[in-house]
Structure formats: C-alpha cells, structure tokens
Amino acid sequence: MTLTMQPHRETVGLKPGLLYIDGEWGGATDGATWTHRHPATGEDIGELAVASASDVDAAVAAARRRFDSGEWSNTRAQERIGVLRRCGALLREHAEELRGLQALDNSVPVGFGAGVYAVSVEVAADVFDHHAGWVDKLGGETLTPYQGGDHLAMTFREPIGVVAAILPWNAPFLLFAQKVAPALATGCTVVLKPSEYCTFTVLRMVELLEQAGVPAGVLNVVTGPGDPTGERLITHPDVDKVSFTGSRGVGGRIVEASAATMKRVSLELGGKSPAIVFDDAADVGLAAATTIGAVTLGLSGQACVANTRALVHRDVYDEFIAAAEGMAGMVSYGDPFDPGVMSAPLINGTQLDRVLGYIERGKADGARLVTGGERLDGDYANGNFVAPTIFADVDNASTLAQEEVFGPVLAVIPFDDEDEAVAMANDTEYGLGASVFSANAQRTFRVARKVRAGTVCVNGFQIEPHLPFGGFKQSGLGREGGKSAIESFTELKTVLMPLGDEMM
Ligand code: NAD
C-alpha cells in the first residue's frame, strides 16, 4: 500500500507556519511561502512563511529593544526560573503531539523518538530544567587586585545580547533546547531560525514557550531557507552572537559574515566519527550493533555524531561485519506513525542523490559492498528511503571514509595495531566524536586521550545533554551543553575599584 501522511496531518492538527515577531504571529510581509514535502511520501505537507530581509530586521529590532531595555535580563531570578521550568513542563505535557509533528516534518518515527537523546522531547524538557538551575548561579569572581588591598577587582558574567539561533532539520527538540534554554537563562534575547525542512515542530515549541510566560520580543522566530532568511540574520549588525548547528559549508559562511561586526559565533558542525574496535573488546557483537544502530536507526545516519567509520582489528574483523550485517537486516522502514517503524528516510531529494552518489563512489573506489547500496522501491518508491548499507575494506583515504555522507552508510576499515588505529581515527578534517571498544581499561583511556574529538565514549555510544558537546578541527567552534553553554551565552566583565577616599 502506498504510504500517505494525509490522515496523520489531520490527527496531529498541522497549522500553516507563521513568523513570530515581538509577540505577534503573522505571515511574511511579501507573502512568500515555502512548501514542505514529506520525506517518506513526497506529499505536500504544509506551507510556511519565508521571512524577507525586512521581516528579519523587524525580529532583530524587537529582540534588540527587549534586550536593551533589560526587562528580561533584570527580571527577578525566581521569575525567570519559573518561566524556564514551565517551558520544560509544557514540552513534557505535549510530548506526544510534538513527536507527531516531528514525524510530519522530518519523518523520525514516533516509536523511536521517545527515549533517544537527540530526538527526545523529554530530554529537551530536561535541558530547560537544567538551565533553570543556572539562573541564580551566574556569577563571577572576586580577585586579588594587582594594585594591592586598597582596591577591589571582580568579574561578572553578563548576557551576550541578541542571539541568532539557527537550527538544522534533524534534531529539533534537543537543538532548540540547547540554544534557547541557556540563552533565556542568561538573560539574552533570541531570534530563532528553524530549518525549512523542520519548521512545524519548532513553531509549536515556540507556542508552548509563549504559554510558559516567555515575554513578547524575548524569543522571536523567522522561518524560511538560508537565502533570504538566514543570510539576513547572520549579516545583521544588531545580532551579537550566532549560535549555529548545521553543515560545515554554512558554518564557514557564518564565520566569514561575522567578521564585519565581530559577532560571537558558536558552531556545531558535521563529523566522520570513528568507532575503534580492538581484538580484546568484551563483546564484538555489541560493538557492531551499537555502531550500525547509530548509523541506521532513527535518523538513518543523518546524525552529526554517529560513528560512520568502523576501524576494526583484523582478528575480529569478520565477526564484526557479520554482526553488523545481521543488525542492518532488522531495520524497519515506512510510516513514521507506525510504532513498529524504527528508521527515517533521507530528508529530501538532494540528500537522497548525495547519498546514492557516495555509494557509487565507494564502489568505484574499490570498497566491498556487504549489504544495501540501493534506494528502496515498491511501497517506498515515493520516499527518500535508502537501505542500510555497509562497505568493508574501505580505504581510510577514500571519499567514503573522509566525507560526511549523512545517510545509512557505514565504512568498515581493518587495522593491525593501536598506533595505526589512532592514526586513521585522526586522519580526517573532522573531530566530533569517537567510541573505543576494548576490555583493557588502560588502553581505552590511552586511546580516548589520543583521539582528537570533542566526545569519546568508552565501550558504547552515548551523549549527555548537560556535558560539553562540540567538535575539534572542522567539526565546530565552541561547546554547547551545561556550564559551557552558560559561558558561551555570556560575556565576562571585569570591574575595578579603588577603596580609599583619596583615590576617588
Ligand atoms: P544546513 O547547514 O544545510 O542548514 C542548517 C541551517 O542553516 C538551516 O536552518 C538552513 O536554512 C540554514 N542556512 C543555510 N544557508 C544559510 C546561510 N547562508 N545563512 C544562514 N543560515 C543558512 O544543515 P542541515 O542539512 O539542516 O543539517 C545537517 C548538517 O548539520 C550536517 O552537516 C550535520 O552534521 C550537522 N549537525 C551538527 C550537529 C552538531 O551538534 N554538531 C547536530 C545536528 C546536525
């Protein structure tokens, strides 16, 4: 039976996508819209407003005004804590509805989303609670003054100002929370731009935050693609900071655009993370399942930190590949509202062509196709589904091992000793994550310290929302998560004062 989203569209109650500027919902001033196509069916799902440069200007002006007035940053701590807690509570209360909206946006299955960090509403709600706890703990230091004890020297953490928060399409709950919660906790005001491929979920989250008591103009939303909406935002002189999650290419453009006004920039970009599996791993099958699972389940490998390269010791190489192939065969596709479905299609036709292109390139470069390697047809023919794909005997210098595929494709590469594994792990321009599988504790720590990546997991694959997260090398700039986020949404101010009357 051909898949259709129409009944779900009605059940979930999708509304047209509007802009939210200074507490008012409305269309784009020039009436421009973008039609969202569902990744699993190709159907038109809904229309969203495309914010023009003047709409973006209005949103930034509102955020600027509300920031400069100090009305949010000077609110009593208990009041701001209460608002952030209510944000978390309302997200939790509406989790099911939000999962449905996400399934209409990016086709992440409702059955997969509940417990998994990156696509979990509940984790996003926890992030709001976590940041509520920071509001009354923002502080500086009292320092020893250079000029002696008759002087005071101290530091303050002050909100960075107007934040442009730009989101990708793949993990709207968590990435919304990791940007908006610390920005609000520190007293910043925000202009948020969701991805044009995942807007409806984010708009509903914003409605819930409005309901939670976030004042008008403190959080604004402009929707639409990179051009014109995103470009105006990143070049706007009144934006103090751009907090971006997305591709390496757009990240580079943001750095370039920031130079004109020295905007603060934090970037969470792509990856080509390795899972390093040693011959003394306690459970090679588990290492294989963890690795192929992260590349095929849920987002179908469209996840920045997924371990898309498996570096496997030659003595357990065949065992690893057999286990990974078995697991790949169990991945289920289809209607994201079917609780038995575990994996999403690729987000759009461009990404589908890109992934199929990488698969052809892998074959041409001599890698051995173990399983998958093709687009799914039949019931899935109207969607962007690609079968879970494993390539073995991949050359670490080849395109498949070096570039971010962003699809359900695992590259398996053999190694003979630890030094070779570490050298290959580091031989990429990215440095977002890694996993090390070994029963030798010294080895796991030794390798974890040598791998140049922002997060290294030992004998597993996990990310914690309150810990620092970000990339070495071209995987990003700065860190999100917990205290790192608080620091990145604040400026450090030093205040000096002589104490003697004669010095005044
Ligand atoms: P993308 O870079 O194409 O788009 C991200 C956002 O940037 C979208 O909102 C888009 O509209 C906007 N944009 C595009 N051009 C712009 C411009 N010129 N100016 C301003 N904004 C612009 O990325 P995507 O396809 O949405 O997401 C996939 C990428 O995101 C992958 O590379 C993935 O690794 C990365 N990602 C990283 C993390 C992380 O935490 N490191 C998390 C999720 C995704």
pLDDT in tens, 179-201: 999 999 999 999 999 999 999 99
Residue 325 has φ and ψ, to the nearest 5°, of -65, -40
Which CATH superfamily hosts domain 7-270+474-492? Answer: Aldehyde Dehydrogenase; Chain A, domain 1 (3.40.605.10)
Q: Ligand 1: which atom is nearest the Cα of residue 469? A: 40
Out of 108, 191, 300, 304, mutate this one to test ligand 1's pocket (max ligand atoms within 8 Å of CB): namely: 304
pLDDT score, position 119:
85
pLDDT per position as a tens digit, 14-50: 899 999 999 999 999 999 999 999 999 999 999 999 9
Q: What does the CA dihedral 185, 176, 48, 5 come to, rounded to 10 degrees?
A: -140
pLDDT at residue 504 greater than cutoff 70: no
Q: How confident is the model at residue 503 (pLDDT cuts 50, 70, 90)?
A: low
Model confidence pTM above 0.85? yes
Q: How confident is the model at residue 267 (pLDDT cuts 50, 70, 90)?
A: very high
Q: Is the separation of the CB atoms in 190 and 180 below 8 Å?
A: yes
Nearest CA owner, ligand 1 atom 31: 247
Nearest CA owner, ligand 1 atom 30: 246
pLDDT at residue 219 greater than cutoff 90: yes
Q: Is the dihedral of CA 442, 446, 447, 452 positive or negative?
A: positive
pLDDT at residue 117 greater than cutoff 80: no
Show the ligand 1 pocket: residues with CB < 6 angstroms. 166-171, 193, 195-196, 225-226, 230-231, 234, 245-247, 250, 253, 268-271, 304, 404, 406, 432, 476
Q: What is the mean pLDDT of residues 248-252?
A: 98
Domain boundaries, the chain: 7-270+474-492, 274-452
Distance 452 CA to ligand 1 centre (A): 23
Distance 245 CA to ligand 1 centre (A): 5
Which CATH superfamily hosts domain 274-452? Answer: Aldehyde Dehydrogenase; Chain A, domain 2 (3.40.309.10)
Distance 384 CA to ligand 1 centre (A): 19
pLDDT per position as a tens digit, 450-464: 999 999 999 998 888
Q: How confident is the model at residue 502 (pLDDT cuts 50, 70, 90)?
A: low
Q: How confident is the model at residue 325 (pLDDT cuts 50, 70, 90)?
A: very high
Q: Which residues are identified as catalytic? A: 268
CB-count exposure of residue 446 (10 Å: 0-12, 13-18, 19+):
middle
Q: How confident is the model at residue 115 (pLDDT cuts 50, 70, 90)?
A: low
Q: What separation in angstroms does the CA of 96 have from each of 13, 100, 133, 458?
A: 12, 6, 26, 33
pLDDT per position as a tens digit, 46-66: 999 999 999 999 999 999 999
pLDDT at residue 318 greater than cutoff 90: yes
Query: Which positions ≥6 away from 49 have C-beta within 8 Å?
Result: 16, 17, 18, 19, 26, 27, 28, 32, 33, 34, 55, 223, 224
